[in-house]
Amino acid sequence: AKEGISGEEGGNVETQVELMDDMAVNSDEEMGSGNDNDEEDDELLSTEAVDEELRRKIQEALGNSADGDAHEASASGEEEEFDDEQMEVFDDKLAEIFQQKKQMKQDIRGLKISFVNFKLRVLDLVDVFLTRQPESPLVLLLLPMLLDLIRSTTKDSRNKPIHDRAFSIASARRSKLPAGFETKDGIDLLTSIHERARRASDKPTLMMMSNVAMYMARAVVENDPSAEPAIYDLYRASLTDFMTRKASQMISDFFMVPASRTQPAHLLPFWRLAAVAIAEYGHPLKAVNVFRQVQAYTLAAGIFSNVSRLETLDDTKQFAEPTKKLLSGLQSAVLDTVKFVVSEKNKNSASGKLVIDQQRLREILQTSSQLIAKSVKSNALNSVAKKALQPSAEWTEAFDALSQSPSFSSSKAIVNLCNSLKNID
């Protein structure tokens, strides 16, 4: 066990564990508190027990001098002195005691390395199973265990090799999907994955969750096509969490990346999701803050960037209605936003600052302009786009007012975008 094995990331596990121990000790000293994940150490060795054992052995080495004689010497106010022979015996005994304690620490470290090696070998077996038996329904049992392991070792530097190996397995893209499972079991697992993603600790973990969620969504639809509405509802619930809960860990890539990896024939739920994002959260003060409002446009544009892939389909009629809703909703949301920013409502009553400033407005207008341009240039949806985009007199007047607004007319980019969007037909 002490020889270690080489992990996927390279390097000897024993060396990695030693480095992780040193990092953990340094971290404990800097933070002034112990690591919450040291339960294995607690089971292996109680610090108090070791100290008590050391104290007992030292007392034995001292013999009677540490007990009765010491008490008498203390009572008489005199200190007992050892002769040379006694000191030599005492020194040898102390050296033996400290050597035993050192050996105990080495044994504990060796045992920890053994644990790490054992867990890595188990993960190797999991990886082999997922690779060689990708269609087994047992995959649904392994995935939540793998995700739990990743979560429990995320901030545990001493188990970093285990965390990295589990993370690598979960992040792998697999072409074959599990089959033969109950639809309810698949939906329950997918629900759990979305719930985990909403409280992910960092972006890499969130994107790994996105990958696993898309993998399971494909498996559920492949196993039962009638389950597609349930999957859409899960993504919509995550979208709502992203847009309305400030503490949500969601990001737009959680939705955009799966759309870019989905087969064109299965893009319809994402098209509908883009339409919902704009219609419900693209308007002023509908999202939890302005940044999330901007992200609604970013998300919709990111999904719609796959429009060119629809040209590979024989029939795109199913995309006509959600595209019409998306573009109509976009025009309505942008119009409301433009009217809002030039009104007194755009000024914060407490600070006097703009609620939607130049930067955020420029992002909204630029993203909207790009989305509209792609829809008009699309061979598959060109006719639908032209029918959906109908600029009115109110639309033109709103952009004229924006380009002349004292708060925004100083931005050449915004003025140019105003002129471009006025002529969307």
The full DSSP string for 226-287 is: GGHHHHHHHHHHHHHHHHH-TT----THHHHHHHHHS-GGG-HHHHHHHHHHHHHHSSTTTS
Cβ distance 4 to 13 under 8 Å? Answer: yes
pLDDT digits (tens, 9 = 90+) for 90-140: 677 777 777 777 777 776 776 777 788 889 999 999 999 999 999 999 999
Which of 24-28, 97-101, 267-271, 377-381 shows the lowest mean pLDDT across its residues?
Answer: 24-28
Q: Say whether pLDDT at 25 is over 90.
A: no
Query: What pLDDT does residue 135 have?
Result: 95
Query: What pLDDT does residue 103 have?
Result: 72
Query: What pLDDT does residue 23 have?
Result: 44
Query: What pLDDT does residue 34 have?
Result: 44
Contacts of 290 (CB under 8 A, 6+ apart): 355, 356, 360
Separation between Cα atoms, residue 5 and residue 116, nearest integer Å: 10
Query: What pLDDT does residue 39 have?
Result: 47
Q: Work out the pLDDT band at 24, boundaries 50, 70, 90.
A: very low
Q: Say whether pLDDT at 254 is over 70.
A: yes
H-helix or E-strand containing 42? helix 39-44
Cβ distance 90 to 61 under 8 Å? Answer: yes
Across 371-387, average pLDDT: 90
Query: What pLDDT does residue 61 have?
Result: 60
pLDDT digits (tens, 9 = 90+) for 196-247: 999 998 999 999 999 999 999 999 999 999 999 999 999 999 999 999 999 9
pLDDT digits (tens, 9 = 90+) for 200-214: 989 999 999 999 999
Query: What pLDDT does residue 364 have?
Result: 97
Query: What pLDDT does residue 156 have?
Result: 78
pLDDT digits (tens, 9 = 90+) for 46-60: 444 556 666 666 666
Task: Read off the amino acid at residue 253.
Answer: D
Cβ distance 189 to 140 under 8 Å? Answer: yes
Query: What pLDDT does residue 45 have?
Result: 45
End-to-end CA gap in the chain: 71
Q: Which residue has the higher pLDDT, 22 or 313?
A: 313
Cβ distance 146 to 159 under 8 Å? Answer: no
Q: Work out the pLDDT band at 304, boundaries 50, 70, 90.
A: very high
Query: What pLDDT does residue 50 have?
Result: 52
Q: Which residue has the higher pLDDT, 424 or 357?
A: 357
Q: Work out the pLDDT band at 173, boundaries 50, 70, 90.
A: confident
